[in-house]
Copies of this chain bind each other. A is one copy, B any other.
Amino acid sequence: MQMSGRPVGTVQYAQGAAPVSVDPNGTYISGQVYVQYVLLANSSRLPILFLNGGTFTGAMWETTPDGRPGWQRLFLDKGYSSYLTDAVGKGRASYAPFPEIFAAPPVFRPLEETWKLLRIGPRYTPDPAARETFPGVQFPIDHFDAFARQGVPRFPGQDSVELAAYDDLLDRIGRCIVVAQSSGGYFATLLASKRPRDIAAIVTVELTAVPDTATAGMAALAAVPQLILWGDNIPTSPMWMSNKETVRRYADAVNSRGGRVDILDLPARGVAGNSHQMMMDCNNDVLADLVAAWLDDLPDMQANPR
């Protein structure tokens, strides 16, 4: 991509350093995704491609803020090779000049908002002692600030760029399982609606949007088994209530076309207290076992010989 017409500026990078002239005009490469992978030497299972949520990077799957194994490690232990991504514009995937190449400036989310969106509790305060949590919440609340250090800003209007990057990635890694959270879940379902042969199954944690069932490739979506997980305390949030209802209608539509979309409502199954960031919750190993059991129940999940 080319950028032109911006003024040449002066930047002082370091204290005491001489200001240097900076010409931002020229060629940029943008729209890349960062991929970190651990491939097991001997595995008959398909690999898992993990897609991050809107304001996080692949680091969210590696570990938990209190130092326990994340889903990446838990699924490696179950025999799944893993690809972790930093989505376009986030983490090591970087971003490009805005508004010339990226459509808009980054949006920053304060911790007050993150606390509520993740359904950790009703109120965040800088003073840890004054924070309000939901009873029995499974998020490791004493380590929330360590978790917050993983947060990244989010660039709006990059959906088609992000989807194109995942398309290229699937061309490289081949048939896989996609495990995705939040806005990552939206991309997982979009990919399934276009490439059902490359996606053996989808597991989405509280996805925030779904393809439009009036226009999406419904035969494709019906061909990809999908598990959708929902945590606890949804009724505290009109936004989450609405998302959950939208997703339920999506599941019904796909299932009415012969698909298999299974909704795992954790509190209804007796698993209480899970947050939107459940892959980091204190019972993340129990949840990984539930997901693994669902995957084990699917047919045709053997990896092709490499």
Contact = CB atoms under 8 A, between A and B. Distances in A.
Contacts of A23: 110, 113
B11 A107 contact: yes
A11 B157 CA distance: 9
A5 interface: no
Interface string A169-191: 00000000000000100100000
Contacts of A14: 156, 159, 183, 186, 209
Given A14-B209, A15-B159, A124 B27 contact: yes
Interface in A150-209: 150-154, 156-157, 159-160, 183, 186, 209
A67 interface: no
A26 interface: yes
Interface of A: 2-3, 9, 11-17, 22-29, 32, 34, 54, 57, 59, 86, 91-92, 94-97, 104, 107-113, 124, 126, 145, 148-154, 156-157, 159-160, 183, 186, 209, 212
Contacts of A25: 110
A112 B160 contact: no
Given A86-B92, A92-B150, A151-B94, A107 B12 contact: no
A180 to B, nearest CB: 15
Contact of A107 (B3, B24, B32): B24
Copies in the complex: 2
A27 B157 contact: no
A110 B17 contact: no
A149 B14 CA distance: 25
A107 to B, nearest CB: 5
A17 B209 contact: yes
The CB with the most chain B CB atoms within 10 A, among A24, A92, A149, is that of: A92
Contacts of A110: 3, 23-28
A150 B22 CA distance: 20
A32 B152 CA distance: 12
Contacts of A212: 16
A247 to B, nearest CB: 14
Given A59-B34, A156-B11, A26 B151 contact: no
B24 A108 contact: yes
Contact of A27 (B94, B111, B153): B111
The CB with the most chain B CB atoms within 10 A, among A112, A145, A156, is that of: A156
Given A28-B110, A96-B108, 6 more contacts: A23-B110, A24-B107, A27-B126, A91-B92, A91-B94, A92-B92
